[in-house]
Structure 1
Amino acid sequence: MRAWQLRPGTLHRCCQIIPELDVLTWLHYNHWQPRSYWSDREQRLEIGGIGSAIQFQAHSADDFASLLSRAHELAAQASSSLICAFAFDEAPGRAHWQGFPAALALLPAVEIRREKGTLRLAANLFAMTEDELALQRRELISLLNKLIPVSSEDYLDSGVEVVQRLDELDYGSCKAHISDILSEISQGDIHKAVLARQVELRLAGKLSPFATLRRWQQISPGSFSFAIEHADRVFMGCSPERLFRRDGRDVLTESLAGTVRRGETPDEDLKLEESLRNDSKLVREHDWVTRYIEGELAPWVVSTSAPQKAGVLKLDRIQHRHLPIRAKLKEHVGDLELLRALHPTPAVCGFPRHAAHDLITRHESVQRGWYSGVIGVVSPHSSELAVAIRSALVAEDRAWCYSGVGIVEGSDPEAEWQELEAKIESFLAAVEG
């Protein structure tokens, strides 16, 4: 590392295999900002990062092409992936999202990467001048020397008590919004619109985000887990929904729609699953979503395929109808085209997309920020992005958590309200430990 010579625009990187450790515990004890984390649903890839070798930011959707191009170029040099996030509204944040850009891609200064059963520690440095190289090399060496080793036996705190809960939307207001949305749906131009709400938690003490994420991960197995520390806050979550996974030109996405709760007993759970499979409203909603996704993909692919029957994705508190969709991309089509085609999904926006988004703008009082946006990892050869639901924004002794519900013809306000509540229960459990 001390022998690195300036190569403007070129990444310096060194990497070595390290003994097994828990990545979230490592991030909890090594608290130099910004920290970042990603783990996919199948546990193919896990990344924990400290510091930032380089960041790219976008302030509107017009900048996404440049951000992804630069991220791919740097990832190719690193033989790694950049962690990235895109806002729901493709715009910079305001209020408690102040300082969050429309999109961000970052390569950590120090990262731990678990892939194919092997754990590696890497150090990254990117400089354009001799002065930058000297300064960043000193800072990187200092950071490496300060790293605290951890083991599986290291203690993680047991949570923080919620002392006050502030609901941005109460049941009466929610019912009124749903009634208004159903009135617009009855006119025939919109099939589905997603209503989101924000719940602010005020806590008895400072919340440890990575210890909380570890508990949340244990409560929500089979989810994408993520965290990005930015503007002195941490956006984190455990999402069940994939936007897409791309390996070369092979793409895997999914239609996720229709929700019922989990049963208290195996028999009750099975009955609820049967209602999910057979309820005409839920089946109709899911079929619409599937056709919509296939239609959005059509200009960019040479083929698509999907099972004839939907399956069920079971989570800790709820279960969804789920259908995997595979596709082969046309030549010279990549992450940017997939992002534009699939984001925001019917699960977080509705469909048709533009009409549903306009309705959301008129009915929602809260800014979603990165909630229901996109988060994941990108590289030239393979990328995976998840829909940033089941997520929260944490700032010391405060947290803002979010949930959304899809409104379609026949939606019942009481059932939708209960679904909104069920979707934040796992985060509340993780907060209090």
Structure 2
Amino acid sequence: MNILLLGSGGREHALAWKMVKSHHCDDLFIAPGNAGTSQFGTNLPIEVTDFEAIKKACIEYKIQMLVVGPEEPLVKGIYDFIRQDAQLRHITVVGPSAEAAQLEGSKAYSKKFMQRHGIPTAAYAEFTSDNLEEGKAYIRHHPLPVVLKADGLAAGKGVVIAATHEEALQVFEEMIVHRQFGEASSKVVIEAFLQGIEVSVFVLTDGQDYQIIGHAKDYKRIGEGDTGLNTGGMGCVSPVPFMDAFFMQKVEERIIRPTVQGLSKEQLDYHGFIFFGLMNVNGEPFVIEYNCRMGDPETEVVMPRLQTDIVSLFAAMDNGTLVDTNIVFDERSCAAVMAVSGGYPGSYLKNFLISGLETLETDGSAMVFHAGTREEDNEVLTNGGRVLAVTAYGNTIAEAVAKSKAVLENIRFEGIYYRKDIGYEFN
């Protein structure tokens, strides 16, 4: 079948790499893609939220499956757009409806969903400009630290953990009064801080059944030792040593199963990935957030470890046989180390030449997934804050990380920076 993949990051490069391995994939198109995705299919100069241009491409290239990488087109209703169009409704869409995507699109929506279905999460309250003073009073009496979240999509930047009441009040006002994140922060969710280790679990679901396709731990801080500003992710490891069968049984029984049952009970149209952002609090899992798509850079370690044909899984999701599929994992560890532009996550420059990509070994033990890159005159240039991830296999996490770093030593662009301590606690 012909498949259209929406997105342009490392997640999409990893999905493209995985999908073209399937005998079900005839031609792959990526919109808009990056310099890496062009190795596996045809990049189309289409923005992920330009639904009319997506429709035109679906008709022109006889698309039979649409895989949605980022969250924005899902929250804006790409699933519903395809389903409601007579020329497109035959297309299998990997992604939830706009209503179901509110699990990611609105922190308040997801918190209420978790409350209704008894899913463990931090205590919270929500506020808008209508009850601003009430919110300030709530903050003044809240135990520290306190977590403030912009309700809507804020490109991964709408969460602040405030160490003092003064800082929390300032952030609260910035978000609501000064609209720091635009409409996304017109409502703010304030919640209790959970002390623990953050991990992620990924499932594919048809809204009735599900399959767990992997788990991972990512490293969000820019600095080594988990210091400095938050980023979109500086690296990732999988499998996570402490996420053993006992812990995963708790995750499945208390979180995954009630979530999917909740989707079914509330008749939410959900055919796609659920990314469970969890906190391991002394061995007990709590939900920090839902995402309605795969993570980045988590996809760059989950897809290499997943040995099951991903397009077959998408087809099973579509035809109601997902429950019967067999999920097989590579037993090796996998690590991804992200190389970023100088200055990231603050301001940074683009369009620097990337060299050394051609030196990558071809034995399959390591691969480069492009994130913020573009092609010009047969050269690869930087085109974002997070530029590329090197993913490698190893018998241990330490071995996989060492392999990734060895490859990165041969890759150069002006201002290149990467953390050398990814997976440090598992060495």
TM-score w.r.t. the length of structure 1 is 0.26
TM-score w.r.t. the length of structure 2 is 0.26
More strand by share: 1
Taking CA–CA contacts closer than 8 Å with sequence separation of 6 or more, which of the two structures ends up with the larger relative contact order? 1
